Each structure stands twice: as structure tokens, then as C-alpha cells.
Structure 1
Amino acid sequence: MTSGLRVERFKMSDPTFDTSSPATGDAGLPKVSIYMPTRNRLGSMQAAVRSVLGQTYREIELIVVDDGSTDGTPAWLAEQARLDPRLVVHRHEEGRGACAARNVGIRAATGFFLTGLDDDDEFKPHHLASLVSYWQLLTGAGDDPSALYVQDELRSGGPVAYTHKIGRATAEMMLNANQVGNQLFAPRDRFLSAGLFDEAMPAWQDLEFFYRFLKMHGPARLLDLPSYVFDVTPRPDRISSKSKRKVMQACELMYAKHGGDQRHTLQRLLLEQVFSDYYGFRPDLADLRRFIGLGWWPRGWWRMARRWRAGGA
């Protein structure tokens, strides 16, 4: 295996792990459930499904939630589920949105561990085996991370690039940037206790959920391996939104839910997230005035003013 880690019969200090439970696979290893929402992306979805069913770690359950597809997705998924019982399909006759589909998949999962996959991304063959092995290594050494995350291989049709995520992610760090990416790997019960994805968020669904997750369960740890293939090709059908209106709405909701009494929280969200290089938005004069009016923060004012000037305002 590429990571150099070996999966043995699973051992955990957690007394709730029962090797005779449905969360355990036939080999006595913990079952990993993967949830994946999809809608009208037959080609990329097929590659995503195959990347999961082809994992070197075999004790898996892939839950695909078809959110009202009108292309060949339903027929193809039905045939694949007939061929491989590890694939479980749920279908919405009408689209309810990606977050609703994710939540259906999470609730339906029966594995001990849980993680997600977007329908235009892929797992490298060793992705799940490496995560289970690393979790086993950490817990065996007395460490108890809330979750794990990995580096991403970024594909856009040009040269392949890689992320450089930090080794430890906390809830506080998520206010400056999404340090995790778009997937966590953790025991399923932690996803449930964190409250699932907020279906009312117009954007930042991952960011908001991961913030709640890390706030409740503590820091997550990085497995420094680029085993998740993240498609960043610009396309109009992306789930992630780069509409300034939606991102600003998400920022306001994030602050309303989690701002509390933390100083400069809304200013940090605006400066580090909304007007970051990721979105490419530049503040206009109204944005700058509002930012200054939110509170005394000379350093933040100066940085926001620089971004305003860079936009040619």
C-alpha cells in the first residue's frame, strides 16, 4: 500500500466498538460508510463510484443519494447496485439539494466510520485503507483526534497540483479558512451528534458543518497523503457557489449562528473568506464602509482597504 501502513484486526480503546455489530465487516474490521449526493452528472459520478468500489479496503458501504436525476443516473446506479451489494442507492424524485442528500446518506449509514465523496471527485485506491490504518495508529498510541482529513490532488485539466493543509484543524481556524477541505473521516456517531448539514445554508455548507463538528468534538488531524482527487475544473453545475450574493448570505448566517461574543468574527469572515483569493471578489466602497463600521480593528481596516484598492475601486 502506498502509505506504508498496514490494516490489522481493528483495536480501539473505545469500549463501545463491538466486533459483532453491523458496523463491523466480515473480516472483523470496521465498516466504512461513504455518502455521495449526485444529480445529473452521469459521467463523473460513474468514475466516483468506481473509485470507491475499487478501494483496497473492502469493508465498505457506498450510499449514493440521487437527488432527482433525469439523465441515465437512476438506471446505471440500479444496475451497479445489483452487481455489488456494497452500493446502496436512495432516490429523491424531485431535487432537494446537496445538503439534504448528504443528510439522507449519513442517516442511512451503518458503518462505524463515515466519510463523504462528491460526485465529481474520486478516491485514490488506498484512500480508505490509509485512513483506517492511521486512525488505528493514533488511537493505539493514546491519541484521540475528533476526525481525520487528507491532502487533495487538484485536477483542472492542466498540470496536477496538491494542497498544503496544516497538520491540525480547530474550529477557531475555520473562521479564517476551511483548513479541512470538503470531507472529514470520523466515527459516524460524531457526525450525528454534531447536527448534520444545515440545509438552509446557501453556501459554505461544509465550512459551517465542520466548524460545528470541531467545536463539539475537538481538533482534527491531517493524514499527510494526497489520496483525495478534487476536481477544480470550472463548470456551471458545481455544488459550491461563487455567487457573491449567496456567499454574503452564508457569511451572515455563519455569524448569526456562531459569532457569539468573539471579537472581529464577522470582520474575519469577510476579510479571510468572502474577499479571499478563492472567490476572487473585490470589496466595493459600500463593503469597505460596512467593514469599518463593524468595529475597531485598524489592522483589518488596512487589509480590507488594500483589497478595495486592488479592485480598482
Structure 2
Amino acid sequence: MDTIQPLVTVYIPTYNRLELLKRAVKSVQEQTYTNLEIIIVDDCSTDGTQEYLIQLASQDQRIRYFFKEKNSGACVSRNIAIKNATGEFITGLDDDDYFLKNRIKEFILAWGNKKETTKVLYSLYLRKTETGLTKKVYKLKKVLMKKEINAKDLIYYFYLGNQIFTLTSLFKKNLFDENFIAWQDFECYYRFLKNFNCTAELVVEENYIVDISHPHERISTKKIDNILKTFNDFSIKHDVVGNDLILLRCHLYNYPSIIIEMKDIIFRFFYKPSLLDLKRIIRKI
């Protein structure tokens, strides 16, 4: 690895969110780490996105863009970007989210100090709501946080969030499954840790902003029937059975429309106690 400034690819899938896309791209362009390749894949937008990207690429040589011939979703867009990436490292950004200015620099610094078994880095994030940014995690809680996880840990809880930082060469061997209609990032990252028998380490800084304040439908928003189908598809594909299936089913209870089975929550609480599950149990008593 080039210890000075290895090239980092940042990929952004987009569809009809021009103003939000501009903010996302700007947050990458203004990174304190500057040796970047920025790949934007447009999913047949009709709001001026393509004209914007053509102009943008003429002004910043780090920008590359791809225009899809048919609308096929963010998962396909991500794979196009990953396949065409030339950076040594790679990470993603949704078009309605944005980076804080030191995100890439913090990943690069952390990579130099990671364990040998670690092939993935991830970070904490803040949410942007209609009332502003959520508060950062308390320092004491950060100290107590689990900072190294494996594939089995993801069955219990999706620690990684929607973006990871890793070697491009590995990501090219472990693309998103385009047949999944939901949980694409969860399935991809679980498979990544499982296939490469590696771990992921937490970079304990909130340097990614998830914007839930705007009226646009988020890339990750799915209908409940799609979520239930994906749960079944995931468990079959990865042969999740027994106690692990109970833990996986608890992921469904993050969706308000799905009725919580308290026996599952109680099992997960005794497997690994959490304040969230304790509150759920107390409310039922």
C-alpha cells in the first residue's frame, strides 16, 4: 500500500435527487483527504442530473459518471461503480446523505493501525432530522462499544450501517446481490465477513450523516412484504437455523408495522442484554 496517499474510490448511486446529490458530491470534494476517485452512477434520472454530472466532470478530474440505459435500482448502480473502481480502497455514499470532512482521512489512519484479520472498517453516524442533527454518542458509551465484529455478530445486530470502507480488490469479489429486494447492504456485508473469514473494526467517530429530514423516499425504504420475503431469502441462502434464526428474526422488529414476538426479544436479551430489549420487555409486563 502507498503509505502517502493511496487512491480511494467513493461511489454514489443516484436517481432524481439532484439537489441532494449536489450536497453529497460537495461533501466528498471537500474531504481533507484529497486523492479520490468519485464515481456517480445515475439510474435514468429526469431532473437534470445527467447534465449536472457532465458539467461536474469537466470541472473536477476526480469525477467519473455512468448513465444506465434502464432504471434498475441502487443495488445495480453500486455494482457498476464497484466493478469500474480503480482506487486501492473503496467506500460508498447514498445520494441523500453526506460525509463530514475528515471521514476518508480517519479511515486511512485507522487502516494503518487495524488488526491483521480486519478487512472492513465502519463508523458511527448521525441522523439529520427536521429539528437538526442527533447528538453524538457519549464518550463512556463509545468506550464500552463492541469495536470488532464478525459475520455471526451481524446475525445479532447490524452493527455496520449502510457503508463500509475496504479494499477494492475484495469488494469486486463480493458484490451486492441484485436479486435481493431489501437488506442488500446487510446481506452483502454479512457475506463479505463470512466468505473472507475476517472481521470489521469500528472507527469511533461520527463522520457520516444519514438524512431522514427530506420528503424523498430513501434508497433503503421497502414495503413490509418485501422485508418479510427478504428475511426468508436470507435465512435460506445462508442456512440460518435454530437460535441464529431467532436472532435474525429480531431484525424484523425494527419495522413498526411488524408485531413483536416477546419470546424472541426475551431470548435475545438473555443471549446479549441490551437497554432496548429491556425496555420492550418492561412495557409488556
Question: Is the pair's TM-score, using the shorter chain for normalization, greater than 0.5?
Answer: yes
Point out where structure 2 has 5 or more consecutive residues left out of the alignment.
271-276
In the alignment, does 2:30 pair up with 1:51?
no
Shift of 1:302: 11
Shift of residue 157 of structure 1?
2.0
> CA–CA distance in 2 between the matches of 1:203 and 1:235?
20
Looking at structure 2, the residues matched to 252 and 233 of structure 1 have their Cα atoms a distance apart, in angstroms, of 31
Of the structure 1 ranges 239-248 and 35-44, higher mean CA displacement relative to structure 2 is found in: 239-248
Q: Report if aligned partners of 1:259, 1:266 keep a CA contact under 8 Å in 2.
A: no
**Greater relative contact order structure (CA < 8 Å, 6+ sep):** 2
Counterpart AA for 2:125:
D
* Alpha-carbon distance, 1:42 to partner: 0.4
Distance 1:236 1:253 in 2: 28
Aligned to 2:252: 274
* Distance of 1:189 and 1:34 partners within structure 2: 14
| 2:154–2:190 Cα contact (<8 Å) kept | yes
The question of 1:208 aligning with 2:208 is answered no
1:72-91 matched pairs, under 5 angstroms: 72-91=48-67
Q: Is the 8 A contact 1:169 1:180 kept in 2?
A: no
d(CA) in 2 for partners of 1:197 and 1:223? 23
- 1:238 is matched with 218
Contact persistence 1:283–1:307 (CA under 8 A): no
Cα distance between partner residues in 2 of 1:31 and 1:224: 23
Name the residue aligned to 2:273.
none
| 1:190 matched residue in structure 2 | 170
Shift in alpha-carbon separation, 1:86–1:234, aligned structure 2, 3 A: closer
2:129 to 141, 156, 161: 156
Pick the aligned partner of 2:149 from 162, 169, 174.
169
Task: Say whether the 8 Å CA contact 2:38–2:63 is kept in structure 1.
Answer: yes
CA shift, 1:169, in A, is 2.2
Counterpart residue identity of residue 151, structure 1: L
Instruction: Give the greater-gyration-radius structure (CA).
Output: 1
User: What secondary structure is seen at the aligned counterpart in 1 of 2:172?
Assistant: helix
> Which residues in structure 2 correspond to 1:1-313 (within 5 Å)?
10-11=2-3, 29-138=5-114, 143-161=116-134, 162=136, 166-194=146-174, 196-217=175-196, 218-233=198-213, 235-260=215-240, 262-270=241-249, 272-276=250-254, 279-283=255-259, 299-300=266-267
In structure 2, C-alpha distance between the alignment counterparts of 1:120 and 1:234, rounded to whole Å:
8
The corresponding residue for 1:3 is none
Equivalents in 1 of 2:24, 2:112: separation in Å? 26
Question: Is the 8 Å Cα contact of residues 81 and 87 (structure 1) preserved in structure 2?
Answer: yes
Go from structure 1 to structure 2 and tell me whether the alpha carbon gap of 1:78 and 1:302 turns closer, same or farther (over 3 Å shift): closer
Q: Does structure 2 retain, via aligned residues, the 8 Å contact 1:10–1:136?
A: no
AA partner of residue 245 (structure 1) = D
- Displacement, 1:281? 2.7
Please give the alpha-carbon distance, in whole angstroms, between the structure 2 residues aligned to 1:188 and 1:51.
Answer: 21
Name the amino acid aligned to 1:152. Y
CA RMSD in angstroms comes to 2.8
Q: Percent sequence identity over matched residues?
A: 32
CA distance in 2, matches of 1:178, 1:33: 24
| Structure 1 residue ranges without an equivalent (≥5) | 1-8, 12-27
Task: Tell me: CA distance 1:282–1:259, structure 2 relative to 1, closer, same or farther (3 Å).
Answer: same
Distance in 1 (CA, whole Å) between partners of 2:147 and 2:268 is 30
CA distance in 2, matches of 1:155, 1:31: 29
Report if aligned partners of 2:247, 2:268 keep a CA contact under 8 Å in 1: no
How far is 1:166 from its partner?
A: 3.3
Q: How far apart, in 2, do the equivalents of 1:49 and 1:132 lie?
A: 20
Deviation at 1:234, TM superposition (A): 6.3
Q: Normalization by structure 1: what TM-score? A: 0.78
